């Protein structure tokens, strides 16, 4: 391995990276596995993180493109496309909520920090909104009677009912934002997404989400991404909250000298500002396999 790669590897741990996920009371097999950078191929690993157990949580880099925002730009740009997947392997388990963040920084002390210019999905969104009708019945009663006579109470009970009908709505919620982490000045240096299940239907978070990030960079120096994720898992109808183990994945390292991956499409690396990030992003609740029934 070249000496420069070794130097970068020594520098990447200046910012602590951690991965928190609720998996099981003792931690399922594979839930504490650490995702590391390959010493023989240090930069831009595809597998950001992988946690397997009662629930599976994964994040993969789909595309990375280094270039320019536009041909006349005096700064550089990087487009990153990520795919998250969340699935349950055991009955009674589901993921209620996911919080994830990606913080970008230079690999060496004092290096310029990449700035998050745009992300998708971005903002507050509701997915698959549901509604239900709720009926409430109120009973009011009283007693009208004559004064007691020889210990006997004479009277008539009066009562009436009032019915109240209302429609309530709920939905799965998705929030995407560009944030400042570790400082209170300058442009955003991180991207974050939150997924919260529909509390009424209790169907868990979506099974997959594809997200895109556009960065601006001052130079072509290598940089890193510190990835954090916390998931809240429900088991057996909320009887027990599952507390998982803490583990640390290596930061993902990026080298602007590496050629575009172009897996989803061929990007114009000299005009990354023109890429429609919303078209790259999507959220999936369920994948159905058609023609799965065979007739013999």
The string of pLDDT tens digits covering residues 236-277 is 433 333 334 445 778 999 999 999 999 999 999 999 999 999
What pLDDT is recorded for position 159? 58
Q: Are the CB atoms for 174 and 121 separated by under 8 Å? A: yes
Cα separation values, 84 from 77, 79, 127, 282, 291, Å? 23, 17, 17, 10, 27
Asked if residue 199 has pLDDT above 50, the reply is yes
* Whole-number Å distance between alpha carbons of 46 and 34: 14
**Is the pLDDT score of 33 beyond 60?**
no
Instruction: Give the predicted TM-score (pTM) of the model.
Output: 0.74
Q: Per-residue confidence at 72, pLDDT binned at 50, 70, 90?
A: very high
Mean of pLDDT values over 136-146: 58
What secondary structure does DSSP assign to 43-65, as a single string?
S--SEEEEE-SSEEEEEEEEEEE
pLDDT at 81 over 50: yes
Percentage of the chain surpassing pLDDT 70? Answer: 68
Residue-wise burial string across 174-212, b where 16 or more C-beta atoms lie within 10 A, e elsewhere = bebbbeebeeeeeebbbbbbbbbbbeeeeebbbbbbbbb
Q: Sorting pLDDT into bands at 50, 70 and 90, what band is 82? A: very high
Residue linked to tokens 């599952």: 242
Higher pLDDT residue, 14 or 103? 103
% of the chain surpassing 90 pLDDT: 42
pLDDT higher than threshold 50 for residue 12: no
- Distance from C-alpha of 9 to C-alpha of 40, rounded to nearest angstrom: 11
HSE of 9, CA atoms in CB hemisphere, 13 A = 14
Question: Which of the pair, 38 or 109, is modelled with greater confidence?
Answer: 109
| CB burial of residue 116 (10 Å; 0-12, 13-18, 19+) | buried
State the average pLDDT for the chain. 78
Domain ranges of the chain: 3-128+173-284
**Region 175-193: what's the mean pLDDT?**
94
- Tell me the average pLDDT across 177-199: 93
Find the length of the chain: 296
Q: What is the arithmetic mean of pLDDT over 141-170?
A: 59
Band (pLDDT 50/70/90 cuts) for residue 229 is confident
As given in the structure block, the two tokens for residue 225 are 């991404």
In 3D space, the residue among 210, 171, 174, 180 whose CA is nearest the CA of residue 194 turns out to be 174
Whether residue 140 is predicted with pLDDT greater than 50 in this model: the reply is yes
């Amino acid at each position: 391995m070249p000496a420069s790669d070794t130097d970068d590897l020594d520098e990447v741990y200046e910012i602590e990276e951690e991965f928190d996920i609720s998996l099981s009371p003792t931690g399922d097999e594979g839930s504490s596995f650490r995702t590391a950078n390959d010493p023989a191929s240090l930069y831009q690993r595809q597998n950001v993180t992988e946690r397997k157990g009662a629930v599976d949580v994964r994040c993969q880099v789909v595309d990375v493109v280094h270039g320019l925002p536009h041909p006349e730009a005096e700064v550089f740009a990087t487009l990153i496309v990520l795919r998250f997947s969340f699935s349950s392997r055991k009955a009674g388990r589901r993921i209620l909520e996911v919080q994830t963040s990606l913080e970008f920084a230079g690999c060496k002390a004092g290096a310029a920090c990449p700035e998050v210019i745009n992300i998708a999905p971005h903002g507050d969104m509701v997915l698959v909104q549901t509604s239900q009708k709720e009926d409430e019945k109120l009973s009011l009663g009283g007693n009208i009677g004559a004064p007691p006579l020889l210990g006997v109470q004479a009277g008539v009970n009066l009562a009436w009912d009032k019915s109240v009908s209302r429609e309530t709505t709920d939905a799965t919620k998705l929030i995407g934002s560009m944030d400042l982490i570790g400082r209170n000045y300058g442009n955003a240096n991180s991207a974050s997404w939150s997924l919260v299940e529909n509390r009424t239907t209790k169907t868990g978070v979506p099974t997959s989400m594809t997200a895109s990030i556009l960065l601006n960079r001052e130079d072509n120096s290598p940089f890193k991404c510190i990835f954090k994720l916390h998931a809240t898992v429900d088991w057996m109808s909320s009887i027990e909250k599952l507390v998982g183990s803490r583990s640390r994945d290596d930061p993902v390292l990026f080298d602007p000298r590496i050629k575009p991956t172009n897996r989803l499409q061929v990007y114009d690396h000299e005009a990354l500002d023109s890429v429609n990030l919303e078209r790259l992003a999507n959220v999936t609740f369920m994948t159905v396999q058609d023609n799965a029934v065979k007739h013999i």
